[in-house]
Structure 1
Amino acid sequence: MENTTSPAKSGLLYGLLFGVIMILEFVIGYVMNIDPQTNQGYGITINVLNFFVLPSTFIYLGCNNYKMKLNSGFISFGECLRIGVTICIIAGLISALFSSVFGMIFPEYFEEMYRKVSKMMMEKNPQMTSEQLDMAVSMMKKFSNPVIAIPASIAIYAFIGLIYSLIIGAILKKDANQSY
Structure 2
Amino acid sequence: MENKITPAKNAMSFGVTFGIILVLEFVLMYVLNIDPSENAWAGVVMNILNYLILPFALIYIAANKFKNELNDGFLSLSQALKTGVSITVIAALIYGVFYIIFDMIFPEFKDELLEKIQRVTLKQNPQLTAEQLQMSMKFVKIFMNPYIAAPFTVVMYAVIGLIHSLIVGVILKKDKPVFE
TM-score over 0.5 (shorter chain):
yes
Gaps of 5+ in 2: none
1:137 aligns with 2:147: no
Give the structure-1-normalised TM-score.
Answer: 0.95
Offset, 1:80: 0.3
For residue 94 of structure 1, what is the aligned residue in structure 2? Answer: 94
Offset of residue 50 of structure 1: 0.4
| 2:2 matched residue in structure 1 | 2
CA RMSD of aligned residues (A): 1.2
Equivalent-residue separation in structure 1 for 2:122 and 2:31 (angstroms): 28
C-alpha deviation, 1:126, in angstroms: 1.6
Deviates more, 1:131-140 or 1:43-52: 131-140
Matched, 1:33 2:58: no
Who is 1:14 aligned against? 14
1:172, 1:102 → 2: CA distance? 38
Distance in 1 (CA, whole Å) between partners of 2:108 and 2:43 is 20
Aligned to 1:114: 114
Structure 1: which 5+ runs fail to align?
none
Partner AA of 2:129 in structure 1: T
The code of the aligned residue for 1:142 comes to I
C-alpha distance in 2, partners of 1:136/1:17?
A: 35
Aligned AA (1:39): N
**Aligned residue number for residue 172 of structure 2:** 172
How far apart, in 1, do the equivalents of 2:71 and 2:47 lie? 33
- SS in structure 2 of the partner of residue 2 of structure 1: coil
Structure-1 separation of matches of 2:5 and 2:176: 15
Query: Are 1:84 and 2:79 an aligned pair?
Result: no
Q: Take 1:27 and 1:36, find their aligned partners in 2: how far apart are those partners? A: 14
Taking the aligned partners of 2:32 and 2:145, their CA distance within structure 1 comes to 25
Residue pairs, 1:144-155, within 5 angstroms: 144-155=144-155
Residue 64 of structure 1 corresponds to which residue in structure 2?
A: 64
| Alignment partners' CA distance in 2, 1:65 and 1:23 | 25
Post-superposition offset of 1:30: 1.2
- Are the counterparts in 1 of residues 103 and 146 from structure 2 also a CA contact under 8 Å? no
Residue of structure 1 in register with 2:23 after alignment? 23
What is the rounded CA distance, in whole Å, between the counterparts of 1:35 and 1:65 in structure 2? 37
Partner Cα distance (2:121, 2:177) in 1? 59
Q: Is the 8 A contact 2:99 2:150 kept in 1?
A: no
**Which residue in the other structure is 1:45 paired with?**
45
What do residues 2-61 of structure 1 show as CA deviations (whole Å, max 9, x unaligned)? 333211111111111011011111111111111111111111100110000000001001
**Partner SS state of residue 97, structure 2:** helix
Q: Distance in 2 between matches of 1:118 and 1:107?
A: 18
What percentage of aligned pairs have identical amino acids?
46
